[in-house]
Homo-oligomer: A and B are copies of this chain.
């Protein structure tokens, strides 16, 4: 059996399953201190012996090939986890080989192997939630450079009617600072879910997401672009984003079917754990 951990900043999901993507059992608990959280991880896998483990972790995390701190959480705002050697600890406590990637790369892997991207050569999975991140899986492998991508921080053109200064502490107007859930909340003083009927909110949201997707598209040329995360619960965003993306692209690159290009996930919040299974199965 293969183990999976979706190691999120607010909760951990542990699961066991098979390489075909079936999940046999799973559990979830809040992310507290490393010791307390990993004790719960150990307890779950004590009941379910595994051969290998796949992990999708919150970040930033060291994924630099050859680094002696490979698999270590880096300078996160979650102080107890700062510089915590997550991969090494899991290998030690569970005595199995561990494959680790970012949370969004494993989500991409899950959709690529078992979900909406099953017949595509490459999938870009974008999560629009508390933060914005994206991960590319191409020809069955996670794409990654010297370290993992930070795609949520691409720089955007501000909308002329948007006076909000951006919520990213590092960049005036990056995608995450302008379009993640907390940016919506900071701009209007109201949570996204309660703004469902305010059309201009979603116009602006689609405007920013379409710009970023245009950049990802011309750079990475993915076959599927999957948009997930809390903010995408606003399903009306999909057609709006597709329309604005096609406007921005302006026929520069042929897109035969934008509805098949920009899509919703198919795995119902299970793309993360299933992606961990796939990651471990391939390693």
Q: Which residues of A contact B (CB under 8 A)?
A: 65, 121-122, 138, 143-158, 170-171, 173, 211, 214-216, 218-223, 248-253
Q: Are B122 and A146 in contact (CB under 8 A)?
A: yes
Contact between A151 and B218, CB atoms less than 8 A apart: yes
- Contact between B145 and A138, CB atoms less than 8 A apart: yes
* 14 contacting pairs across A/B (C-beta < 8 A): A122-B145, A145-B220, A145-B221, A146-B222, A146-B223, A147-B253, A150-B252, A151-B219, A152-B218, A154-B214, A154-B218, A155-B215, A155-B248, A157-B157
User: Quick one: which of B65, B157, B173, B251 contacts A170, CB cutoff 8 A?
Assistant: B251
- A206 → B minimal CB distance (Å): 15
With most chain B CB atoms within 10 A of its CB, the pick from A143, A153, A214, A249 is A153
Q: Is the CB of B223 within 8 A of A145?
A: yes
- Beyond contacts A143-B143, A155-B157, A219-B219: 8 other A-B pairs, Cβ-Cβ < 8 A, are A65-B121, A146-B221, A147-B221, A149-B221, A154-B219, A155-B214, A157-B158, A157-B173
Interface of A is mostly: loop
Query: Is the Cβ of A252 less than 8 Å from the Cβ of B219?
Result: no
In the complex with contacts A157-B158, A220-B149, A248-B171 CB distance below 8 A? yes
Which of A158, A220, A249 counts the most chain B CB atoms within 10 A?
Answer: A220
Task: Give how many copies assemble into the complex.
Answer: 2
Which B residues are in CB contact (< 8 Å) with A152?
218
- Closest beta carbon of chain B to A90's beta carbon, Å: 24
Closest to A158 in B: B157
Q: Are B145 and A222 in contact (CB under 8 A)?
A: yes
Residues of B within 8 A of A122 (CB): 145-146
Establish whether residues A221 and B144, one from each chain, have CB atoms under 8 Å apart when the complex forms.
yes
Give every chain B residue within 8 A of A214 (Cβ-Cβ): 154-155
Residue of B nearest to A223 (CB): B146
A250–B253 Cα distance when bound, in Å, is: 33
For A216, the chain B residues whose CB sits under 8 A away are 219
Which residues from B are CB-within-8-Å of A158? 157
B215 adjacent to A219 (CB under 8 Å):
yes
- Min C-beta distance of A47 to chain B, whole Å: 38
Q: For the complex, what is the distance from the CA of A148 to the CA of B248, rounded to whole Å?
A: 19
Which residues of the other chain, B, contact A150 by a CB distance below 8 angstroms? Answer: 218, 221, 252-253
Contacts of A65 in B (CB 8 A): 121
A149 to B252, CA, bound (A): 12
Most buried by B among A122, A155, A214: A155
Q: How far is the CA of A216 from the CA of B173 in the complex (A)?
A: 16
| Cβ A219 vs Cβ B155 within 8 A | no
- In contact, A156 and B157 (Cβ under 8 angstroms): yes
Q: Tell whether, in the assembled complex, residue B149 and residue A121 are in contact, meaning their CB atoms are under 8 Å apart.
A: no
A145, A152, A170, A215: which has the most chain B beta carbons within 10 Å?
A145
